[in-house]
Amino acid sequence: MKRLTFSLGIALAVFLLSGSHAWAQPGTLITTIPLAVPGTGVSVAADCQEVIYYTLSGSNNLYKMDKIGTNLGSVPIVTAAGAPLDIDEMAWDETRQVLWGQLHGSNPVDVYTINPTTGVATFAFTSATVSVGTFRDGIAFDGDDTLWISGDVSTTIEHYTSAGILLGSITPKNAAGGTLGLISGVVVGVGDLLYLGRNGAVEIVQVKKSNGDFIASFASPGGTRDEGLECDATSFAPTLALWSREFNPPGHVDAIELEAGTCECGGGGTVTCTLGFWKNHPEEWTNLDPNAIPGWGGGNTYLQIFGISPKQGDASIILAHAYLAAVLNTGAPAADLAAALALLTAHPVGSKDLVAKKNAHPDRALALAVAASLQAFNESATCELPKS
């Protein structure tokens, strides 16, 4: 297991570049981002690699953008059989690398997991959650592998295992001890904490997971209807952000500052440190210089190699990706590392020696086998999320 530290110098640089300010307070608006593809809806989710996801009413597309609103494309959300699904609010699960989503109009609410790359949705369970209207606003993934689900403008929040077993429910309270109500967005905080958005109340509320008791609240600085919510610990690091989805068209999402350490990306816990993690977090590299050029790299830096696509099934590039991630994770099988280095020395990146073709080089099969072994190691390696 690789345990990471986030250096003060890097944290300060990211902080300054993000446009955040040290004197900002929880509830401060960090930024408002118009939707890359505009429309009405209630969803927002954020992975731990600075990608923002959302859906639109009447569409089965999963839209992607970055923290400044750059359109990163979309994929249709469909079942394995190809049937389109209209998904409302979602939550990122860092452990599984999937989105949990609620089916629009389902009552009780049907819950799916969604592959963010392919858009394929897999039915998970039908909740006990009964909701008014057709929009399904509240779902949050917790690091203990459970889910918190609420209906639209609800008074209660149900707690489920990831297999759909109902663990109980809470009725969140206001500061006077009465029923809070108007609950739409839900996001998990650290410890005994939930953040809640209230439809039309322009308010974000903190309550206890254990019993729904009121902790605190602040005025929402974004839109007029805080629908879906999502924690984002990476996009504006070291500032901790809460994304809030505004329902009304043309639509936007607001990044709102939270108190440090009160929520974590994807439910919290550890991250699987695959090549995607290392590619997006060169500041976390401790045993390789991202800008160094290896002898087998074809003139590319280590970081540039991560960005090269293995066209024609080029096994040299596939192996290079797996090898670099394994070196950065540390602890990979020494025999695999030695075999990978020998193969890359013999068949450097860019040589095209090991592309897929008739009568392919005999080393291609070996390179793919070593890459598969290293990738299996990478997918079992964990590391801490970048911290402030």
Tell me, what's the pLDDT at 157? 95
Distance CA 295, CA 176 (A): 67
Q: Point out the domain boundary residue: 268, 294, 324.
A: 268
77 shares its domain with 102: yes
Mean pLDDT over all residues of the chain?
Answer: 87
Beta strands 138-142; 121-126: pairing state = unpaired
256 shares its domain with 299: no
Tell me, what's the pLDDT at 7? 35
311 shares its domain with 170: no
Tell me, what's the pLDDT at 5? 35
Contacts of 193 (CB under 8 A, 6+ apart): 206, 207, 208, 209, 215, 262, 263
186 shares its domain with 307: no
Q: Which residue has the tokens 């007029």?
A: 224
336 vs 266, residue with greater confidence: 336
CATH number of the domain where residue 94 is located:
2.120.10.30
Digit-coded pLDDT (tens) for 59-75: 999 999 999 999 999 99
287 shares its domain with 191: no
Task: Answer yes or no: are the C-beta atoms of 196 and 189 closer than 8 Å.
Answer: no
In a domain, 71, yes or no: yes
- Residue 376 burial by Cβ neighbours in a 10 Å radius (0-12, 13-18, 19+): middle
Cα-based distances in Å from 3 to 9, 78, 383: 18, 37, 5
Indicate if the pLDDT at residue 11 is higher than 50: no
N-terminal to C-terminal alpha carbon distance within the chain: 21
12 shares its domain with 60: yes
Task: Answer yes or no: are the C-beta atoms of 182 and 172 closer than 8 Å.
Answer: no
Q: Point out the domain boundary residue: 213, 241, 268.
A: 268
Tell me, what's the pLDDT at 337? 96
Indicate if the pLDDT at residue 384 is higher than 70: no
> Would you state the structure tokens that stand for residue 51, as one six-digit string?
């990608």
Cα-based distances in Å from 289 to 66, 82, 386: 26, 44, 18
Number of domains in the chain: 2
Query: What pTM did the predictor assign?
Result: 0.66
Instruction: Kindly write down the DSSP assignment for every residue of 339-380, as one continuous string.
Output: HHHHHHHHS-TT--TT-S-TT--THHHHHHHHHHHHHHHHTT
Indicate if the pLDDT at residue 190 is higher than 50: yes
312 shares its domain with 209: no
Q: Point out the domain boundary residue: 249, 268, 287.
A: 268
378 vs 57, residue with greater confidence: 57
In a domain, 356, yes or no: yes
| Among candidate residues 113, 135, 133, the one with its CA nearest the CA of residue 122 | 113
170 shares its domain with 295: no
Partners of residue 45 on adjacent β-strands: 53
Digit-coded pLDDT (tens) for 281-329: 788 898 999 999 999 999 999 999 998 988 899 999 999 999 999 999 8
Indicate if the pLDDT at residue 280 is higher than 50: yes
178 shares its domain with 108: yes
135 shares its domain with 249: yes
Indicate if the pLDDT at residue 238 is higher than 90: no
Indicate if the pLDDT at residue 29 is higher than 70: yes
In a domain, 355, yes or no: yes
Confidence of residue 26 (pLDDT cuts 50, 70, 90): confident
In a domain, 1, yes or no: no
Indicate if the pLDDT at residue 145 is higher than 90: no
259 shares its domain with 324: no
Determine the average pLDDT of the residues in 238-250.
Answer: 91
Confidence of residue 375 (pLDDT cuts 50, 70, 90): confident
Tell me, what's the pLDDT at 279? 80
Determine the average pLDDT of the residues in 28-52.
Answer: 94
Tell me, what's the pLDDT at 272? 57
Range(s) of the domain holding residue 285: 271-384
